[in-house]
Every structure is written in structure tokens, then in C-alpha cells.
Amino acid sequence: MRASVLYAAGLPRPYADSKPLTLEDLERPAPRRGEVAVDIACSSLCHSDLSVVDGVRVRPLPMALGHEAVGRVSAVGDGVFDVRVGDHVVLVFVPSCGECRLCLAGRPALCARAAEANGSGDLLHGPALLKTRGGERINHHLGVSAFADHVVVARESVVVIDDGVPYEVAAMFGCAVLTGMGAVANTARVESGQSVAVFGLGAVGLAAVMAAKLAGASAVVAIDPNTAKHALALEAGATHAGTPEEAEALVRRTAGEGVDVAIEAAGSARVLAACLDVTSRGGA
Ligand SMILES: [Zn+2]
Ligand SMILES: [Zn+2]
């Protein structure tokens, strides 16, 4: 099988020259008990992959990257009864064991066992399976490692989806959509009639824009320095779009003293401060 492996983090930019990822021919692993094998159909690039490449997120290396993907189940291990060969599945980067304190408290996204496995480059049900033809261990990225043509993951790392969902759409449900949608629906709990500002119009921000529109927000102000993103945001449901310099004036015009909810989707402390600047008293 082939996978894209990072051997050293923090190489100089541009990455087109330093080429941090190496396409490796690895031994093809088989699923163990509680695991499934998936042939990857589509995988998208997330900023969290880049954060491992540039060294901001320190991970054990070498590591096969990629965590936002969709594919088709090619084999299931012992003890897996609810996923079948041929099922289309979205990969999940935070599996939950269902048994630890946080899982039992109804907070599966904080699963302690998954966090430990993800941090050490292992899988939920056992040590890393990936290795080079020479036998060198390759760590898994977030229990997925989807920049590959084949993966073996914990059963808890897949969600079966309808076969009719196009692969290139479904792949984004592995991270960007659930992050942006989750911020709006689960964290901010945006209600009909509220005003929302979204800073950063990558895939997460655009998913937040769509979720805010779906929630019935009265105004959705979309902000990004890249003006090429503005038309896309308006198409996705934003009522207004502009640059960071225009943000305050846009919010004043549409939401008076400030928005009810501001979403930071750029991963930057400076942008978080800008969010607070446009949030109304008592907003979130
Ligand atoms: Zn991601
Ligand atoms: Zn757990």
C-alpha cells in the first residue's frame, strides 16, 4: 500500500521545494479484532495536517498524515458486526471507547483512551500497524492516516454513510463540516434570529456559515482577507462578506452594537481578539 509519510517537521517553506512528505510503499496491514480496513476514495487537506508538517503540533515521527477522508470498507476484523465490506464510511479522527470516565459522562469527543492513542501514534485497539518494508514503525495520524490508498482503523473511527453521497463531499464531513457545524450547533447553539460573524473562510469557516444560515441566523457576516473567498461565502449563505479591515463597519451596519455569536475559524489568537471586538455584550 502507499501512504504519505512525514519524517521531519519544520522544514523550510515553500514546501514545493523542501517536500516534507514522502510517498512510501508500506506493508499492507490487515484489521485486528475490533478494526476495519478501508480503501480510501477521497482525502482532503486540513490545517491540522499542516500544523504537524510545520512542527506547531508536535507528533511522534515518522507519521503517515491525513485525517479527513472517506472510503469503502474492504475487510472487517473479528468482533465487528455492524460494519460490512462494501459500506461507504467517513473516517473519524476522534474515536470514543465508550467506557472511560469522559465517554461515560456523555463527552465522547474527549475520550481519554482515544486521546492517548492519538498522541502516541497508535490505534484505539492496539499499537501502530504501519511499517516500512524494512520493518520501521510508522505512526498513525489521529488514528486515521488517510493520505494513503488503504487504512486500517478502529471500528469506532468510521461512520457508515449513504452510498449516494459523492465522495468529494463526504470527505469533508470527517473534519471541516463537523468542526464548523459543531461550533454553531453544539457550542454556540445559534438560534433563529441571532446575528453571527465568521472569521476565516476555509472549509471550517464555510461550514460554519452554512450552519448559521441553517439555524436561521438573521445576519451572517463572513470575514477573510482573501477577497476571492467572499463570493463563495455569499453563495454558502452569508448575508455580508468583507476583509478584516471592513469587519467592524459591516457588523455595526448589520447587527448594531455587535453580533450575538462570533466564530473564530482561522486558528489565530489575533483573530480571536478581533472576534471579541465585534461581539455584543453578553454574546459568545
Ligand atoms: Zn482536520
Ligand atoms: Zn472513552
Q: Does a structural domain hold residue 37?
A: yes
Domain match, 120 and 182 both: no
Q: What pLDDT was estimated at residue 282?
A: 86
**How many angstroms is it from 126 CA to the middle of ligand 2?**
15
**How many angstroms is it from 102 CA to the middle of ligand 2?**
6
State which of 127, 156, 174 marks the end of a domain. 174
**How many angstroms is it from 205 CA to the middle of ligand 1?**
12
Q: Does a structural domain hold residue 120?
A: yes
Q: Does a structural domain hold residue 148?
A: yes
Ligand 2 ion: Cβ-proximal residues, 5 Å cutoff: 96-97, 100, 103, 111, 113
Amino acid identity, residue 238? A
Residue 223, domain CATH:
3.40.50.720
Residues 6+ away with beta carbon under 8 Å from 17: none
Q: Does a structural domain hold residue 212?
A: yes
Domain range enclosing 87: 2-174
Q: Does a structural domain hold residue 238?
A: yes
User: For the chain, where are the E strands, in sequence order?
Assistant: 2-6, 21-25, 35-44, 63-64, 68-76, 88-91, 139-140, 150-154, 158-161, 195-199, 219-223, 240-242, 261-264
Q: Does a structural domain hold residue 233?
A: yes
Rounded distance, CA 259 to CA 276, Å? 10
User: Closest-lying ligand to the alpha carbon of 265?
Assistant: 1
Domain match, 166 and 230 both: no
Rounded distance, CA 203 to CA 209, Å? 10
Contact, 241 vs 214, CB < 8 A? no
User: Closest-lying ligand to the alpha carbon of 106?
Assistant: 2
Domain match, 38 and 135 both: yes
Domain match, 189 and 65 both: no
User: Closest-lying ligand to the alpha carbon of 178?
Assistant: 1
Domain match, 136 and 69 both: yes
Domain match, 143 and 86 both: yes
Q: What pLDDT was estimated at residue 32?
A: 98
**How many angstroms is it from 187 CA to the middle of ligand 1?**
17
Q: What pLDDT was estimated at residue 209?
A: 98
Domain match, 136 and 82 both: yes
Q: Does a structural domain hold residue 261?
A: yes
Longest dimension (CA), the chain: 64
Per DSSP, the three-state class of 79 is: coil
DSSP symbol at 280: P
User: How many structural domains compose the chain?
Assistant: 2
Q: What pLDDT was estimated at residue 36?
A: 98
Q: Does a structural domain hold residue 133?
A: yes
**For the residues of 215-266, what is the DSSP string, one character each?**
TT-SEEEEE-S-THHHHHHHHHT-SEEE-HHHHHHHHHHHHTT-BSEEEE-S
Q: What pLDDT was estimated at residue 75?
A: 98
Per DSSP, the three-state class of 170 is: helix
Q: What's CA 32's distance to the chain center, in Å?
A: 25
Rounded distance, CA 132 to CA 138, Å? 7
The radius of gyration computed from the CA coordinates of the chain, to the nearest angstrom, equals 20
**How many angstroms is it from 204 CA to the middle of ligand 1?**
9
Domain match, 202 and 80 both: no
Residue 131, domain CATH:
3.90.180.10
Q: What is the pLDDT along the chain (284 residues), one digit of tens a residue?
A: 999 999 999 999 999 999 999 999 999 999 999 999 999 999 999 999 999 999 999 999 999 999 999 999 999 999 999 999 999 999 999 999 999 999 999 999 999 999 999 999 999 999 999 999 999 999 999 999 999 999 999 999 999 999 999 999 999 999 999 999 999 999 999 999 999 999 999 999 999 999 999 999 999 999 999 999 999 999 999 999 999 999 999 999 988 889 999 999 998 999 999 999 999 988 88
Domain match, 112 and 208 both: no
State which of 124, 144, 174 marks the end of a domain. 174
Q: What pLDDT was estimated at residue 210?
A: 98
ipTM of this predicted complex?
0.96
Domain match, 192 and 127 both: no
**How many angstroms is it from 92 CA to the middle of ligand 2?**
14
β partners of residue 240: 221
State which of 150, 174, 198 marks the end of a domain. 174
**How many angstroms is it from 67 CA to the middle of ligand 1?**
6
Domain match, 34 and 168 both: yes
Report the DSSP pairing between strands 261-264 and 195-199.
parallel
